[in-house]
């Protein structure tokens, strides 16, 4: 009697791809490597996704949706400093959920995925700008220019995420991103 294969869900395929992409190298994700990782046939993959690019687009979209959902559900009505820390916590979660290859080799992403990552980054940037502007208006932060401060926060958080994914910072990506606010808050007149 032949052994039947278990059904593989779309979600399991996305998670398998994320596991492979955690290596930091897009070339590691092939239909063959994914079939081996999940103990499935290649035809099963093609039942769920038309191509490897479609799989990557779906993976990146799902991870970015999770980040944007967290931003929508966040309560930024707390004081500005707590709200700023919450945005960093959400950014840290985003950094942890994106596979290393998506972070380190974003130029190799399908165009739709590149645009999705950029859109999520813009959404995070708007959140930073809004909270920083409010904090300046409330007197919580020194006015150094909320646009400049938000740009610095985003650039530093992204830099920390990349450095951790590359291994040049010996912290998990989420911790590297979350620690950025401790470095930058003194520039806003807040003691850490």
Q: Report yes or no: 26 and 108 within 8 Å, Cβ to Cβ.
A: yes
Mean pLDDT of 139-147: 80
Asked whether residue 66 falls in the same domain as residue 114, the answer is yes
pLDDT, tens digit, 9 for 90 and up, residues 104-135: 999 999 999 999 999 999 999 999 989 988 89
Specify if 1 maps to a domain: no
% of the chain at pLDDT higher than 90: 66
Handedness of CA 30, 13, 56, 70 (dihedral sign): negative
Mean pLDDT of 90-99: 96
Asked whether residue 91 falls in the same domain as residue 166, the answer is yes
Total of domains in the chain: 2
Asked whether residue 184 falls in the same domain as residue 96, the answer is yes
Q: In whole angstroms, what is the distance from residue 184 CA to residue 166 CA?
A: 22
* Burial annotation 46-85 (CB, 10 A radius, 16+ → b, else e): eebbeebeebbbbbbbbbbeebbebbeeeebeeebbebbb
Residue 5 has pLDDT above 60, yes or no: no
CA 156 to chain centre: 14
Looking at residue 43, which CATH number applies to its domain? Answer: 1.10.10
Asked whether residue 41 falls in the same domain as residue 109, the answer is no
Mean pLDDT of 18-28: 94
Asked whether residue 91 falls in the same domain as residue 23, the answer is no
Q: What is the pLDDT of residue 105?
A: 94
Asked whether residue 64 falls in the same domain as residue 44, the answer is no
Give the closest residue to 91 by CA, choosing from 116, 113, 66, 115. Answer: 66
Count CB-CB contacts under 10 A for residue 1.
Answer: 3
Q: Which domain holds residue 121?
A: 60-188
Compute CA distances 32 → 41, 45, 113, whole Å.
Answer: 9, 10, 22
Specify if 4 maps to a domain: no
Specify if 173 maps to a domain: yes
Q: What is the pLDDT of residue 2?
A: 45
Asked whether residue 22 falls in the same domain as residue 107, the answer is no
pLDDT, tens digit, 9 for 90 and up, residues 56-74: 999 999 999 999 999 998 8
Asked whether residue 172 falls in the same domain as residue 122, the answer is yes
Residue 150 has pLDDT above 90, yes or no: no
Specify if 160 maps to a domain: yes
């Amino acid at each position: 009697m032949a052994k039947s294969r278990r059904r593989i869900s779309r979600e399991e395929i996305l998670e398998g791809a994320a596991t492979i992409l955690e290596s930091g190298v897009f070339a590691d994700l092939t239909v063959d490597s994914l079939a081996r990782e999940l103990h499935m046939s290649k035809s099963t993959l093609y039942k769920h996704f038309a191509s490897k690019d479609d799989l990557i687009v779906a993976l990146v979209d799902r991870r970015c949706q999770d980040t944007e959902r967290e931003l929508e559900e966040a309560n930024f009505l707390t004081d500005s400093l707590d709200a700023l820390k919450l945005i960093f916590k959400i950014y840290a979660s985003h950094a942890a959920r994106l596979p290393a290859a998506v972070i380190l080799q974003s130029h190799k992403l399908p165009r739709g995925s590149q645009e999705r990552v950029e859109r999520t980054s813009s959404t995070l940037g708007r959140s930073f700008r809004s909270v920083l502007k409010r904090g300046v208006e409330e007197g919580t932060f020194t006015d150094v220019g909320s646009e400049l401060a938000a740009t610095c926060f985003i650039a530093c958080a992204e830099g920390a995420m990349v450095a951790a994914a590359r291994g040049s910072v010996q912290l998990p990506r989420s911790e590297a991103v979350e620690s950025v606010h401790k470095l930058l808050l003194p520039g806003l007149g807040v003691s850490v």
